[in-house]
Amino acid sequence: MPTPYRTILADDVFDLRFMVKLALERSGHFVVVAEAENGDEAVKMAEQHQPDLVLLDVSMPVKDGLEALPDIRTVSPEAKVVMLSGFEATRLSQVALEGGASAYLEKGIPPGQLVDELLKILGAAA
């Protein structure tokens, strides 16, 4: 198996970060190198860790995901940024994609589907 994708999880809800981290790391395709509770922390973590993937919640305190997105693209240009949100994709996906996100996924998709979608976005086979 290839080296796991270095991933940052940015969400203000600990339980969600925990569940996503569990799903990603159990798949064997991802290793979570950092977690952030807000967009400001996400930018700092992206600059420090230079991840392959950033999972970025839209709605967070201090700086939301859409505000953090251009900064993350600047400090870690090689990273794929996937917006993960509880908001309907139709409402914000175009804004996120225009801002440089690689994809926009709604929260609550089954863990296996999340892993499969992320692998597709990264151009890898499951």
Closest listed residue to residue 8, CA positions, set 38, 42, 37, 40: 42
**Least confident residue range of 20-34, 65-79, 84-98:** 84-98
pLDDT, mean of residues 50-64: 90
pLDDT, mean of residues 65-81: 93
**pLDDT band, very low/low/confident/very high, at 61 (cuts 50, 70, 90):** confident
Q: Is the torsion defined by CA of 25, 18, 88, 91 positive or negative?
A: negative
What pLDDT is stored for residue 98 in this prediction? 75
Structure tokens at 78: 């090689």
| pLDDT at residue 7 is higher than 60 | yes
| pLDDT at residue 49 is higher than 90 | yes
Q: Dump pLDDT digits (tens) for 78-108.
A: 999 998 877 655 566 666 767 788 888 888 8
pLDDT, mean of residues 25-50: 96
The rounded percent of the chain whose pLDDT value lies above 70 is 88
Spatial distance between the Cα atoms of 10 and 44, rounded to a whole number of angstroms: 11
What pLDDT is stored for residue 23 in this prediction? 93
